[in-house]
Structure 1
Amino acid sequence: MDELLDLVNEKDEVIGEVWKSEAHRNPKLIHREILILIFDKNNRLLMQQRSFNKIKYPGYWTESCAGHVLKGEEPETAAHRELKEELGFDVLLKFVEKRLVDRIYERYFKYYFVGRYAGELIMIDRDEVEDTKFFTLNKFDNLYRNETEKVLVQHISEIRAIWLVNK
């Protein structure tokens, strides 16, 4: 499904609007995305396996939750919306940082948030998520070295750094 996003400049100021499909094909069109890391009381990271019905990276393991910031939406609002849509619960989120991500085919500001899981019922959206599991840092590192698992590794260094700082 195509969505309308804010078009931003290199200072992350809104300068217009762009369709998600177009932003993903043109690196001159900068947009905003969010990434959420949910940790439990034992500092294990909740990861999701993307639905096998997804066009991009079906069945891959990835961060707790991620998505796009819609036109006129604040990043924190988008983070709460995506968390509720994909995992069926909401928690207090803390903004950690934002980075300008440069890829060959697209550019975007990635806003990173962390939250604490306290036993909320996880009700996954089957169109988005196949499964969820909690991983220790050691199991997380092994997951990325395991050639039998499909893992989306775009933000592994950032995830590790945030994990280590937010114990």
Structure 2
Amino acid sequence: MQEEQIDILNPDGTPAGYSCGRTRVHAEGLWHRTVHIWVFNSEGKVLFQLRSHLKENNPNLLDTSCAGHISAGDISLNAAVRELREELGLVKSPEDLEYLFVATHECVLNGGTYLDNEYYDTYRTFATDEEASRLVPQPGEVDDFVWMTLDEFFALHAQNPEKFVEHPKDYGWLGVLRGRN
């Protein structure tokens, strides 16, 4: 199986004009694009995925509902729809997703062997009760799902931040959303 190809960006977010494999992207810390999708249910709870214990980075941590790389030549919205289907078994159309914002993320993991420099587009969608009851974790990617109210998330995050993949910009948005409720 051929490795996923990813379009490379310059540090300012403009296209660099080439793509390469995911391994090289993270070995060299090349800038690239990803998506984050937050899923809410009918009770206003937000879905967190428990990253697989087999993941190369951040295993066994709670993370965004769904996230993934944007493949070379693809667009953000298509990637978001694909990732929802692959990671959660949630089938949505592009019209079901609300674009929220773009943010940057830079981190060094695994003793400096995994460099993650990305621009990510953030989306929100909603799962009906029936859809929420049928979520299926993708083996090797997701071990489990946890639904939390925003108050529960912020309380747990304050007590145990080490249980979460840190996404300050996403969590800031969740805080604004929490303030509106």
The TM-score bracket by the shorter chain reads 0.7 to 0.9
Q: 1:149 to 1:26 in 2, by over 3 A?
A: closer
Deviation at 1:25, TM superposition (A): 2.6
Partners of 1:96 and 1:122 in 2: CA distance = 23
TM-score between the two structures when normalised by the length of structure 1: 0.87
Structure 2 unaligned blocks of 5 or more: 109-114
Which residue, out of 143, 150, 155, partners 2:156? 143
Equivalent position to 1:97, from 93, 96, 101: 101
| Count of residue pairs brought into register by the alignment | 165
Provide runs of 4+ in structure 1 moved above 4 Å.
none
| Aligned-CA RMSD value | 2.3
CA-to-aligned-CA distance 1:25-47 (integer Å, 9 cap, x gap):
323x2110110001112221111
The separation in 2 between residues aligned to 1:22 and 1:134, in whole angstroms, is 34
TM-score (norm 2): 0.81
SS where residue 164 of structure 1 aligns?
Answer: helix
Cα contact 1:37–1:113 (8 A) shared by 2:
yes
1:38 to 2:48 alignment: no
Higher helix share: 2
Spell out the pairing of 1:113-152 with structure 2 (5 A cutoff).
113-119=123-129, 120=131, 121-147=134-160, 150-152=163-165
Which among 12, 16, 19 is matched to residue 18 of structure 2? 16
Letter in 2 for 1:159: Y
Q: Indicate how the Cα distance of structure 1 residues 73 and 163 shifts in structure 2: closer, same or farther if over 3 A, else same.
A: farther
